[in-house]
Structure formats: C-alpha cells, structure tokens
Structure 1
Amino acid sequence: MVDWQIFAISAPLGESIIRGTLTFLGLLTLMRLVGQRESGSIGITDVLIVVIVADAASPGLQGQVSSITDSMVLVVTVLFWSVVVDAVAYRFPALAHLVKARPKPLIEQGKLNKRVMRRELMTREEIQAQLRLHGIEDIALVERAYIEPNGMISVVSHKSKPTDDTAE
C-alpha cells in the first residue's frame, strides 16, 4: 500500500522558501566573489543551480525528509530565483553587473592586465598556455584577450595587413 504522507508538507512552507532564497542568494554572492576562472566551461549561475537543485532534491530522493513536497518546494524556490536573477539582469542592464559576470580584459594591445590577473589568480604562464591553444605564441600578437563569464579565455589577434603580393 502506498503511504501518501510522502506528499504532505512536513516543514513550514515559508521556512522552506526562506531557506531556498537565502541559500541561493548567499551562494551566488560567494561565487561572484571567487571569480570567473573557477567556474569552468559553464557559467557560475549554471553551476550554482545544479549544485543547489541537487542538494535540495537529494533528501527527498533519499527519504531523509518525510515529504517529497518539502524537497520540491526548495527546488522550485531555487529555480524561481534563478529565473528572477536572469530576468532582472536582462530587464535592467545597469543591475546586470551585480548579478552576472562580464568579460574581463586580460590582454589589451599586447599588454597583460596585471589587475585582472591578480583578481583571477592567473599567472603569465597560464595565459600563455591558453594563447597557445588558440595558436598564438606571442602575447604581442594579441589585440585583446578576455576571461569570459564561463571561465574560458577568448582571443582577438591583430589583423594582419595585406601586402602588395596578397592585395587584389
């Protein structure tokens, strides 16, 4: 016989919503402080959502709470705030820099940006390794390079000017 009590709310609804909200906003703030480099190839918000949703759903899956509904309230709260943060960043671009990472310039006109390197804890050797992956051996050949919100490095190299032999 199925015990339908697994769907009954065992924790106060407001408490679950507040817990989900504070957890999401707290972890979002911490992850923004850590920097973009640590997030890997997906965005920080994406990592945050996966971790929190997995953690919120886990007790319900493992039977550690008396209700699946409790876990679902946390999951819905986290997903709600994820959508709200994205909507606020989209609707109010002036606030986007508070909740969304932006590309940061690592190299400008062949010169390393030491401030961004310190902030992201990147060494010259690490940047050179990333440039080699883009087929660039010399930093001086880079017009701009950015650390993107997903932690990857994008590179814009100097455009070579056509010579008399290649111009048509």
Structure 2
Amino acid sequence: MRGSLVFWFLFIIFRFILRRDVGSLGIGDFLFVVIVADASQNAMSGDSETFLDGALLVMTLLGWNLLFDYLGYRFPLVRQFTESSSMMLVRNGEIQWKNLRREWITKEELMSKMREEGLEKLEQVKEMRLEPDGRISVIRLSA
C-alpha cells in the first residue's frame, strides 16, 4: 500500500508540477530526482509513520527546487549561479580548442555532431555551442 501511495504522490509531482523533459534537466532538477529517490525509498520501506515523513521531505525538496527555478527565472544574477551558460565550440569554421579541452569534447565527437546536422566541413559552421542542457547546437553559415 505504501509503495502505491509513494508512486502516485511522485507521479503527481513529476507530471503536474515539474513538467520538464528529461533532456532539459538542470543540476538542481537532477539533484532533486536523486534525493527524492532516496526519500521515497525510505517512505516505502519504513514503518507506518515513514510515509508522512517521506512525503514531507519530498515536499520540502520540491519547495526548494521550485524556489530556485523561480528565482533563476526572475533574477539574472541567481540564474548565473544556478545555470551554466552556453559555450562556443566552433566559431566561423574555427574550433575553439580551449573550450573543447575544458569540456573534454574530442574533435571526433564534434565532427560526429556536424555529420548529424548534414554538414561535411567545418567551414560550413557559423557557430557550434554546448548548450546549458548538455546538447550541442549548430548554426550553419548562410550560402
């Protein structure tokens, strides 16, 4: 019974309150998921009072997560602290080696992403960026 309660409690939170795609999880969201997993595990396997304790803990974590999301949305200074910015990997066909080394991205990985975008040569790339959510975006040079 407790397992069902925890499942539906977490389902409602993730479905109706957080509403994020898996690919767009930020650091705070990922941390929230990991801690919620531990809190909900205790709520499912403990004694009869543990469900309410676990639900209270999950709601507290949810409150912090929503507060950081709101403050990051409302205040750019907070956003700089809670979210990373995009990083230039290629500019006008030139690889930004310092940024690749910093993020441990190989030239092969970069070229693979170019091929996925239908590009054959670096000279076809205006910008290639590592976005805050971990994806690599590509802007082609105009022909």
Q: Report the TM-score range of the alignment, normalised by the length of the smaller protein.
A: 0.7 to 0.9
1:41 is paired with a residue of what secondary structure? helix
The 1:158–1:61 alpha-carbon spacing in structure 2 relative to 1, beyond 3 Å, is: same
Runs of 4+ aligned residues of structure 1 deviating over 3 Å after TM superposition are none
Q: Give the CA deviation at 1:90.
A: 1.1
**Matching of residue 128 in structure 1 with residue 108 in structure 2:** no
Residue 102 of structure 1 corresponds to 85
Residue 46 of structure 2 corresponds to 63
Distance across 1 between alignment mates of 2:54 and 2:138: 43
1:159 is paired with a residue of what secondary structure? coil
**More helix per residue: 1 or 2?**
2
Residue 23 of structure 2 corresponds to 41
**TM-score, normalised via structure 2 length:** 0.76
Distance across 2 between alignment mates of 1:148 and 1:64: 44
Distance across 2 between alignment mates of 1:78 and 1:65: 21
Alignment of 1:1-168 (within 5 A): 41-44=23-26, 45-63=28-46, 66-160=49-143
Unaligned runs of 5+ in 2: 1-21
Is contact 2:42-2:50 (8 Å) kept? no
State the identity as a percent.
32
Distance across 2 between alignment mates of 1:135 and 1:143: 14
1:122 is paired with a residue of what secondary structure? coil
Is contact 1:59-1:65 (8 Å) kept? no
Q: Give the CA deviation at 1:115.
A: 2.2
**TM-score, normalised via structure 1 length:** 0.66
Q: When the two structures are aligned, how many residues end up with a matched partner? A: 121
Question: Which is bigger in relative contact order (C-alpha 8 A, separation at least 6)?
Answer: 1
Q: Give the CA deviation at 1:42.
A: 3.0
Unaligned runs of 5+ in 1: 1-39, 161-168
